[in-house]
Structure 1
Amino acid sequence: MTDIPFLIDILVATLLIIGATFTLIGSYGLLKLDQPMKRLHAPTKASTLGVGSLLLASMIHAFASGESSLHELLVMAFLFVTAPISGNFIAKVHLHRQRGGKELPAPPAEDGWATYSEK
């Protein structure tokens, strides 16, 4: 069993809580929001901040244990590059379709799995 200093444990626990909170808020926002531009914002922020914090906590714990954490660093770099770019592309497609004269189809009227509604 490794002997990790108490302050590093607190830092790792704090990063885990922050990451879990952002991920939970982002997944709730994905369910609750109904318009595409609103729905796009929640998961991109959740993946960037939430998963980034979780990976940073894993990297700090691995470094304090004396192990290398190259995999987490590569995943974090790939995530920080791809999440904002894919969100930007989705937003541009949405704006292009709106301005091109073609109206986007209305969301389905049924209360299904895609939106959360309180009854």
Structure 2
Amino acid sequence: DYYQETLGNLPGITLMPEAPYGRHTRWLTVIQIDPEQFGKDREQVRLALEAENIEARPVWKPMHLQPIFSPYETRGGSVAEKLFNHGLCLPSGSNLTTAELERITAVIRNLSC
């Protein structure tokens, strides 16, 4: 909820929605970054966090984009590619302190247009 409260209002940043039929666990927090609205792309945000010794990583690469699966036919739309190209996994876990969360979100907020 902290990420939603502090980053959810930034133009170009979208957090994964919560389904109406359940409650999140937030074991993994992913933001999607629209570079045109936010002013920076996923990799620029990741590198800015890395410069502050904060580890973040892209969303998992879709199976059909991995070399071993390249000879096989792909079916479906472009949702997986969009998530991979624009999604960033932020530090998450029950042991993160408020100070750590503030530090993470400050880096991202300072990058905002």
TM-score, normalised with respect to structure 2: 0.26
Structure number with larger C-alpha Rg: 1
Structure number with the higher strand fraction is 2
Instruction: Kindly indicate which of the two structures has a greater share of residues assigned to helix.
Output: 1
Pick 1 or 2: higher relative contact order, CA cutoff 8 A, min separation 6. 2
